[in-house]
Structure formats: C-alpha cells, structure tokens
Amino acid sequence: MCGIVGYVGKEKAQDFLISGLKRLEYRGYDSAGIVTLGEDGKDTLVRAKGKIVNLEDKLKHNKTADRVGIGHTRWATHGEPSEKNAHPHRAGDLFLVHNGIIENYKELKKELSDHKFESETDSEVLAALINSFYEDGKYPLVNAVVQALKLVKGTYGIAVVSKKNPNEVVVARSGSPLVIGVGHDETLIASDASALLGHTKQAIYLNDGEVATVTANSVDIKTLNAEPVSAKVEKIETNLAAIQKGGYEHFLLKEIMEQPDSLTETLRGRVNLEEGIVHLGGPGIPEAELRKIKHLVIVGCGTAYHAGLLASYYIEKFTPGITIETVIASEYRYRQAYVPEDSVALIVSQSGETADTLACLREIKKRGVRTVGIVNAIGSTIAREVDGGTYVHVGPEISVASTKAFTSQVIAMVMFGLTIAQAKGVKHSILKPYVTEIARLPEEIGKTLKESEKAVKDIVKKYADYEHGIYLGRDTAYPTAMEGALKLKEIAYVDANAYAFGELKHGPLALIDDRFFEFALLNKGELYDKAVSNVQEVLARGGHIIAVTNVEKFDLAVESVIKISSDIELFMPLLMNLVSQLFAYYMTIAKGYDVDQPRNLAKSVTVE
C-alpha cells in the first residue's frame, strides 16, 4: 500500500526519492510523485499516474540538484488514481505526503474554506489543515503539524516540507509505519526500511503518537504532547541481496523457490530432533501457564488467515482440551466475541503492519488476553506491540502474493502448538512424528518444487484460458485449497473458490461445466476414499479435474494429474500448496499479467 520516502542531506534528493520509491513499488500503488525544494525558494513538484517509469519520464525535464524532498506512491482510497490525486499535496508553502486515512476529513474540510482544493483526497485536507496553523505564523513547522494532528481522527504516516525552511522534513505517525535512516550528513525517511538499504543500516522506528523534525544531521523526536523522546537507533538486519531478484524473472518465483531456505531459517535453533521436541523462546510464556491454556484465537488477513486455519487443524489433532478459533481480523475487530479465560491470541502477519490485524491485537490486549505474534517483518508495529512472539524469519517477501511466509507461518504456529502440548504432557509418541516431519520439510519442499515445476508448466497450457476454478480438499487439505484459490485469484485473476469436498453436494456441484476446472488435493489418509467418491461425482458431471496427489497408484480417470513422490504424510498439504503456488505463477505468465504487482492489490494493507 502507499509508500513514503524523504531526504535531507548533501546529495541530490531526487536520486534517493526515485530509488526509494522503486523499492516500495512491491507494496502496490497506482500513482506516484515527488517534490524537492531549492534554497532559492523554488519547488519542483512532479506527479504521474501509473508506474514510477511514468514519473521518471516526466522528471527528465525537471531535474534539480535540490537537497531536500519527499515522495510517495499512492494506492487510491479517496478519489481515483490520477495525477491530481497523487501526492505530494501542496498547501501554501508546504507539501505533504500521507499514508493512512483521515476519517474526519469531511468535517475538517468544511472549516478550510480558504484553501482551494485540487484533489478529492483526504490527504490534501490534512495538508491544508497544517497550513492553516502554519500561516498563522506559528513557526516552526513542527508546531503546525502537531496542532493539526491533534484534530485528526484516523491513521497516518506523514512527511511534510516547507519552502520557508528547505533544510528540514517533519514526520509523524499514528498507525502507519515510518522509519528514519541515519546516514553521514544525510537523513532519509521511508515507510519501509527496505527503501533505506544501500544508504544506511542505522534506523529509528517512529512510534505512534510521535513527531520528528529531521535535518541532515539531527533527529528531534517529541510526542504530540511535546514530551521529548530519546531516539533509539536500531540496525536494519535485511541486506540488499534479499530484496533483489537473484536471477529470477519475478520475485514471486524467487520466493516460491527459496522456501527450503526460508523454512530452514524458521526452524533454526527451534527443533531438537534427537529429543523430538521443539523449543520456542519468543512467546515467553512460563511452562505453568502454557499448561493452563484452553483456548487459542488465531487472527490474520488473507494468506495469514489461511495459515492460521491450517495450523488450527494440526494443533487440535495433538493438543487435547484445547479449542481454537481462527478469525478474519477485519471481522473480529468489530465482533463482540467472548474470549474465555486462559486464552492466548496468535496474531499472524507477514508485514506486521496490517491495519485490521493491528486493530484486533489492540482490542484483544485491552481484554487482558495474552498475545503472541507470528510475524515476519522485524521491528514492525505488531511485532513490537505483542506480549511475545515468534518471528518466522523468511526474509523480505516482495511479491504481493504471499508464498514463503505462508509455509513458515503454518510451521511456526504448529511449533507453538507443540510447545503447549509438550507442557501439557502430551505423549511423546504423539508429538514426535510432527517434529520429525517438520525437520525434514525443507529438503522435501526442495524436492517437490523441482519435481512439480515441469509438470505444472505442462498442464498450464491446457488451462490458461479458463476463468473459473474450484479448489477442493478435505481436512488439512481444505485450508490449503483455500490458499491455492486465493493465489490464483490474486495474480491470475481467475475466479477461483475453495470448498471442502464434503460441501460439494450442498451447492458448488451445480457449477460444474466446461467453463470450470477443479483443482483437487487428494492426499493419502483416512479421508482419502471419501474424497475419491467426491471426485467421482464431479467426473460423472463432466468436470475438468486437475488432481494433485501423493497416491502412487492413482488410477482415477481425471483430466490432469500432478504427482508428489515425497513420503511426507502429516504435512503433505504444505507440499501440495507448492504445486498451487507454481500453478498460479505459470497461469499468470500464460495470461500475461503482472506477477509481482497484481492490479488493485497491495502487499501491506495499512488502511482499514
């Protein structure tokens, strides 16, 4: 979703602003813009609809050597994607870029009749509001920003510059991330630390309710109530290689293929194969309290929600006396759900910034429930606000569609479940097979990816023109089917839905015709025969079935088969999901769509 960059220092600001915005492209956007300010009081504002290359084209005629500026990639919320709605927004002598949503912008706008609004955005209202205080002569700029923010309801990460003082940038945050990069005689600003790499590894993460005045050599942070905050400089752990394509054509394929390594990172130091136990330090829950846990609430959005759902199927298999509710964050935050005593909430998020998930976390904490994060982005808001947590450590995930994070989120949650089961004294013989398979998974994932890529490429030719698909599975293969369908929807724009096999007769069977294909996950196990009966029902109605299976002697007369030869049993659905990921990828290539930045979507959804 929207991205912010800013620069003040000794170099040409435009260079960093453009390279920084390019790093944030993966988050999803539909227009972009930058402004730089010269010592002579001149501003250079350039904005363009569409991709950053359009902005670069325009910049060819607007090059400056200005040493301060701000930039933005916009993901439309209020007003269509267009040049006039793109940020930065101007009000008087100042310019503003904004991530988030100003909820009371209509009321505020009524009071700002002096300003001639040029856009339909809520963000321009904030620019005008700041300017209304600034024009009163209440210099410095930060004072005007603070006065305006005190009137604002909603979420924001902002950066503001003024022609009156082209040596500083004022930034503030509430609910939308902002990082300040500390360099040599230069200070950089970004909504995501990855934009800073190559310039500095020293970062200050702003907290909600803080505002900072940034110059080339100083960072002065205060709360909105004018209390001084001492800046904590942290090291950015990611490196440049991790955010580059590494020889792959798309980030998505790179991220699918690196799962053997990313899962290895998730497991590092956490699995004791000899004893058949797992050890997670992060949640920090004493053993006596682990023993008392009776209920888990798992909260997430999109892929993170599916990961939670799949993990719940596993955890309830080996942890007696525990109930698990996996919920969609955007719903749960407004439900009046009863959370029983001795509950723990798992907050699942790759980015650690998803607005609805964060809101749930805060709501749940208010009720006194212990929260545990299952997060990837280190230092993200969710990671900082949970009571304890387990980082999945898959490295940056750049492609909008989440792949490697899913696999590791599932396993991290299963390991948390195992930690509870170990504390509750569940028999070793029940838990050990899970631990053994978890340890084997990275290698088996590697083999399965190798084995299935060609098979997937071959069958995609047959299905590239389809616009409808149904994903089917039972038990642990059902949430896996949901995730497979989501991948195909997100990037190949195929109207794909998922059903539990048992639900077929209750509606979806009516859909079966030549416009649909059925992606059937058929893993060995006690429910295999029942799933086969369901497949027969589809076949009898002329279905176009793609079966993904680990059954050696698979003899159903389906249209296409992709075999998985691994002897993994419990986590077979995770291997099947690799096939779904590859299928979505190659379908998207065949259809000619943008793999890494699908239309209308954002990597990190920081607005409600």
Binding site for ligand G6P (CB under 6 A): 301-304, 349-351, 354, 357, 400-402, 601, 603-605
Q: Give the active site residue among 2, 22, 201, 254.
A: 2
- Of 142 and 359, nearer to ligand G6P (C-beta) is 359
- Of 312 and 351, nearer to ligand G6P (C-beta) is 351
Closest separation in Å from C-beta 408 to ligand G6P: 11
Q: Give the active site residue among 201, 254, 487, 603.
A: 603
Alpha helices in 89-140 (DSSP H): 105-110, 122-134
Closest separation in Å from C-beta 117 to ligand G6P: 31
Number of C-beta neighbours around residue 111 at 10 A: 13
Q: How far apart are CA 186 and CA 199, in angstroms?
A: 9
- Sign of the Cα torsion 195, 197, 199, 204 reads positive
- Of 166 and 177, nearer to ligand G6P (C-beta) is 177
Closest separation in Å from C-beta 282 to ligand G6P: 17
Q: How far apart are CA 548 and CA 86, in angstroms?
A: 45
- Of 51 and 603, nearer to ligand G6P (C-beta) is 603
- Of 264 and 350, nearer to ligand G6P (C-beta) is 350
Closest residue by beta carbon to ligand G6P: 302
546-579 burial, b at 16+ Cβ within 10 Å, e below that, comes to bbbbbbeeeeeebebbbbbebebebbbbbbbbbb
What the block records as the tokens of 115 is 């300003």
Alpha helices in 473-571 (DSSP H): 477-492, 528-539
Closest separation in Å from C-beta 400 to ligand G6P: 5
User: Is 360 among the residues known to form the active site?
Assistant: no
- Of 243 and 400, nearer to ligand G6P (C-beta) is 400
- Of 69 and 395, nearer to ligand G6P (C-beta) is 395
Strand, coil or helix: what is 497?
Answer: strand
- Of 146 and 358, nearer to ligand G6P (C-beta) is 358
| Cis, peptide link before residue 88, omega less than 30° from 0 | yes
- Of 214 and 304, nearer to ligand G6P (C-beta) is 304
**Strand 31-37 relative to strand 68-74, pairing:** antiparallel
What pairs with residue 175 in β-bridges?
Answer: 156
Beta-carbon contacts of 536 under 8 Å, excluding residues fewer than 6 positions away, are 556
List strand residue ranges (DSSP E) for 301-410, in order.
Answer: 323-328, 343-349, 370-375, 388-391
- Of 343 and 402, nearer to ligand G6P (C-beta) is 402
Closest separation in Å from C-beta 603 to ligand G6P: 5
Instruction: Decide: 488 and 587 in contact? Cβ < 8 Å.
Output: yes
Closest separation in Å from C-beta 28 to ligand G6P: 7
Name which of 246, 102, 242, 126 is nearest 176 in CA terms.
102
Instruction: Decide: 119 and 64 in contact? Cβ < 8 Å.
Output: no
Name which of 158, 242, 160, 167 is nearest 198 in CA terms.
242
Closest separation in Å from C-beta 304 to ligand G6P: 4
What pairs with residue 349 in β-bridges?
Answer: 375
Closest separation in Å from C-beta 93 to ligand G6P: 37
Instruction: Decide: 31 and 6 in contact? Cβ < 8 Å.
Output: no
What the block records as the tokens of 26 is 């993966």
Closest separation in Å from C-beta 487 to ligand G6P: 9
What the block records as the tokens of 116 is 């001639």
Per-residue CA distances from 100 to 104, 173, 392, 460, 479 (Å): 12, 9, 26, 39, 31
- Of 149 and 256, nearer to ligand G6P (C-beta) is 256
- Sign of the Cα torsion 281, 257, 606, 15 reads positive
Instruction: Decide: 33 and 24 in contact? Cβ < 8 Å.
Output: no
User: Is 591 among the residues known to form the active site?
Assistant: no
Closest separation in Å from C-beta 300 to ligand G6P: 6
Q: DSSP string covering 12-23, please? A: -HHHHHHHHHHH
- Residue 122 has phi, psi (to 5 degrees) of -70, -25
Name which of 114, 119, 108 is nearest 84 in CA terms.
119
Closest separation in Å from C-beta 396 to ligand G6P: 12
Q: How far apart are CA 374 and CA 393, in angstroms?
A: 10
Catalytic residues: 2, 603
